[in-house]
Amino acid sequence: KAGVTQTPRYLIKTRGQQVTLSCSPISGHRSVSWYQQTPGQGLQFLFEYFSETQRNKGNFPGRFSGRQFSNSRSEMNVSTLELGDSALYLCASSSDATNEKLFFGSGTQLSVL
Amino acid sequence: QKEVEQDPGPLSVPEGAIVSLNCTYSNSAFQYFMWYRQYSRKGPELLMYTYSSGNKEDGRFTAQVDKSSKYISLFIRDSQPSDSATYLCAMTSSGNTPLVFGKGTRLSVIA
């Protein structure tokens, strides 16, 4: 069974641009969560989608948004990029409606110059 | 005070040593506790999962939860160089709420 796939693996953008990251969960998993990981703050929760509905949202500004499609694939978008948005963005999926056991992708490393 | 505190290390031990990794937390509602292992340039992978208090053993790994002290531990016996990674604790109050992670402890096992 294929794992969680995130694309692209690396991304370099400049301030003010916007970016879209993609996540394909494990086949059959309907819940997708997004986390931001930085050396200073660790893993911080962005949002979670279950069956195309946002179920939970973290404490990030409105520039961060996401969505989930009917095939459970998910995208997150960051508009008006800031230097502080440089981070590893991780997507995780779970097989049911609970978050107890998350399976993570390898992440997208975003650098904002 | 952060919800979950974890010593970032780094922690360096010789091969074969017993490793103890710990997290403390402040939210008494937490009842699901996990340990994830993250290798360099990879996403975290679930290592251990414990519900409420008690011990859980899986091979060389033992997870302990002491809810009265708000303290969780992960023990690694007979540590191997392949155990060199960052270990993250995570916890949540229910299956419908997001996981809260510690910042991770970086472990190096020296051959």
Judging contacts by C-beta atoms under 8 Å, the chain A residues touching residue B87 are none
Q: CB neighbours of A33 closer than 8 A, spacing ≥ 6?
A: A45, A46, A47, A48, A49, A56, A91, A92, A93, A94, A99, A102, B98, B99
Phi, psi angle pair for A28, to nearest 5°: 95, -15
Two tokens, residue A85: 């948005």
Of all residues in chain A, the one with the smallest CA distance to B42 is: A106
Residue type at A46 in one-letter notation: L
At B82-101, the pLDDT tens digits run: 999 999 999 999 878 899 99
Alpha-carbon dihedral B103, B105, B106, B110, rounded to 10 degrees: -170
Q: Report pLDDT digits (tens) over A23-51.
A: 999 999 999 999 999 998 999 999 999 98
d(CA B60, CA B82): 13
pLDDT digits (tens, 9 = 90+) for A50-79: 989 999 999 999 999 999 999 999 999 999
Would you state the structure tokens that stand for residue A13, as one six-digit string? Answer: 């953008």
Is B52 an 8 Å CB contact of chain A? Answer: no
Q: Quote the CA–CA distance of B105 and B6 in Å, as a whole number.
A: 7
Contact B46 A48 (CB under 8 A): no
